Amino acid sequence: MEFKHPYLPVTKEIESEMLNSMGKKSLEDLFGNIPEDYRLKRDLDIPTSKTELEVARRVQELASKNKSADTGRVFLGAGAGIHYIPSVVPALATRSEFLTSYTSYQPEISQGMLQTLFEYQSMMAELLGIAVVNSSMYDMATGLAEAVLMAARVNKKRSRFLVPDTINPVHLQVINTFAEPAGITIEQVGHDQKSMLLDLADLRSKLDNQVAGVYVENPSYLGFIESQVDEMSRVVHDAGSLLVAGVDVLSLGILQPPGDYGSDIVVGEGQYLGSAVSYGGPYLGVFGCRDSMKLIRQLPGRLVGMTRTSNEPYERGFVLTLVPREQHIRREKATSNICSNQALVAVTAAVYTSTLGPEGFRHLGEIIAYRSHYAAKQLNKISGVTAPAFGASFWKEFVVRFEGGVSARMVHESLLKRDLHGGKILTEEYPEFGESMLLCVTELHSKTTIDELVEVVRNVVTNGGGTR
């Protein structure tokens, strides 16, 4: 019997008709160039075709083996953010015309996507306090790696790059993957043991005319706010290096934008802007720089520019621009190999950002600050628990330390039993912190749930792991 499938509109009968029209007898005539030796002479070892209903059932079966974090009972952050997504966001961003288009190579019929991406670039620029934002990188980690490469292209004769030793360790790993073949050395700058802030003396001692750029994370991976940014900016620029800032875009309703403290290149994670955590991807590398042609010419990724029609009456329009930086023109001399990016996630971020507006960003920043501090204060009341474990100030995430023979793992397991999920366990990566966990509190975490979390922790610490 003929195999029919909804995705395949050519029936056997039409197939013959098409073959006849080109003077061919069978499909085999079209595959004659593939040598016999390289033909697969068996069926693929892949299950047979399923109907849509069967596929839906299989997906549900897999999904039900997971525990969804949409309950507001998961206190994880560490580079992926669980936030509320207003209903307009997915409804608009996944409209089929956005979803199923390619890169806007034909601007005449792609003004919708181009204008949306221009608006994305523009709104991110406002949030970050910087002039230029590209139309997306893969995620913050790869965005940062590209920022390191870009800094070394701008400062051509320099091949060292400095990062704080409190950097997100995964970001450090990704940077190293990209920097090593480019001949760039990544070096770590120490921190003050108590405040965790960057050790400015160490920074000064490491800065010289070989340093292409210096990275500042704000708030840092470990949650604390790096408050010495103005001083860092001065020191870094005096050495002729670039300041690269990595920020939490959601914090920018209340925290100082990186453009204001002189950042030359800015990166951030745009998943927080209306995209689900989705087990780590697709995310959005927000990537921007100052309004300087020296920098802009070295930018990786696609840029949408505003222009007008060539002839009167002039009409405003949008196009992909500064294309000669890119791989399809410049090939091995391109500023990056990036081709497919995260455009739809940028569209999502554009809808989210326009939905929140300035008032929403400020309010969200405040809610998160209040709730995370509430959680820390309640945890800190427990004897044997320190929260935050260090740092003068924090916004969304903080490290909590457990003492008195209670391990972070025990706390984690006890929370899981109560259908709660604690923060990322740091004990192995940061043995110097002792038994510790990186907690993340957002607008999704109600006071009730935070109280519940605190109660479980209190029980574990008080009873040495036994819960009621």
Partner 1 sequence: MTRQRNPQDSKYRQADWNEPLLFEMSVSGKIAHRLPAVEDEVKSLVGSLDAIIPAAMRRKHSPNLPEISELQVVRHFTRLSQMNFSVSSGIYPLGSCTMKYNPLINEQAALNPGLAWLHPYQDVSTCQGALELMWELEQWLAELSGMDAVTLQPPAGAAGEFTGVMVIRAYHKHVMNEGDQRKEMLIPDAAHGTNPASAAMAGFKIVVLPSSSEGLVDLDALKAASGPQTAGLMLTNPNTIGVFEKDIGEIAGIVHDSGGLLYYDGANLNAIMGISRPGDMGFDVVHMNLHKTFSTPHGGGGPGSGAVGVKEKLTELLPVPRIVKAKDGRFDLNYNLPQSIGKVHGFYGNFGVLVRAYTYICALGREGLRRTSEIAVLNANYIAHHISQIQGFSLPYSPNTPRMHECVISAKNLAEETGVTAMHVAKRLLDLGVHSPTMYFPLIVPEALMIEPTESESKEDLDLLIGAFKQISNEAYSNPDIVKSAPHSTALRDLDEYRAAHPKTLTLSWKMHLKRTAK
Burial class for 390, CB neighbours closer than 10 Å (0-12, 13-18, 19+)? buried
DSSP classification of residue 428: T
* Cβ–Cβ < 8 Å for 174, 183: no
By CB under 8 A, tell whether 347 contacts partner 1.
Answer: yes
Alpha-carbon span 301 to 341, nearest angstrom: 8
Within 10 angstroms of residue 102's Cβ, the number of other Cβ atoms is 10
Amino acid, single-letter form, for residue 112: G
Q: For partner 1, which residue of 86, 240, 431, 466 counts as binding (CB under 8 A)?
A: 86
> Is the CB of 179 or the CB of 239 nearer to partner 1?
179
Alpha-carbon span 257 to 254, nearest angstrom: 9
DSSP classification of residue 332: G
Looking only at residues 144 through 163 of this chain, which bind partner 1 when binding is defined by CB under 8 A? 149
* Cβ–Cβ < 8 Å for 289, 264: yes
By CB under 8 A, tell whether 386 contacts partner 1.
Answer: no
By CB under 8 A, tell whether 427 contacts partner 1.
Answer: no
Alpha-carbon span 305 to 266, nearest angstrom: 19
Residues in the interface with partner 1 (CB under 8 A) total 213
Alpha-carbon span 314 to 90, nearest angstrom: 34
Contact pattern from residue 185 through residue 224 relative to partner 1, giving x for each residue in contact according to CB under 8 A and a dash for the rest: ----------------------------------------
By CB under 8 A, tell whether 380 contacts partner 1.
Answer: no
- DSSP assignment of 127-168 equals HHT-SEE-S-BS-HHHHHHHHHHHHHHHSTT--EEEEETTS-
Looking only at residues 36 through 65 of this chain, which bind partner 1 when binding is defined by CB under 8 A? 37-40, 43-52, 54-56, 58-65
Q: For partner 1, which residue of 187, 205, 208, 309 counts as binding (CB under 8 A)?
A: 309
3-state secondary structure of 319: strand
Min separation Cβ 342 and partner 1, Å:
5
Q: For partner 1, which residue of 155, 220, 263, 341 counts as binding (CB under 8 A)?
A: 341
By CB under 8 A, tell whether 20 contacts partner 1.
Answer: no
> Is the CB of 204 or the CB of 409 nearer to partner 1?
409
Q: For partner 1, which residue of 153, 204, 237, 362 counts as binding (CB under 8 A)?
A: 362
Looking only at residues 268 through 307 of this chain, which bind partner 1 when binding is defined by CB under 8 A? 269, 276-283, 291, 293, 296, 302-307
Min separation Cβ 186 and partner 1, Å:
12
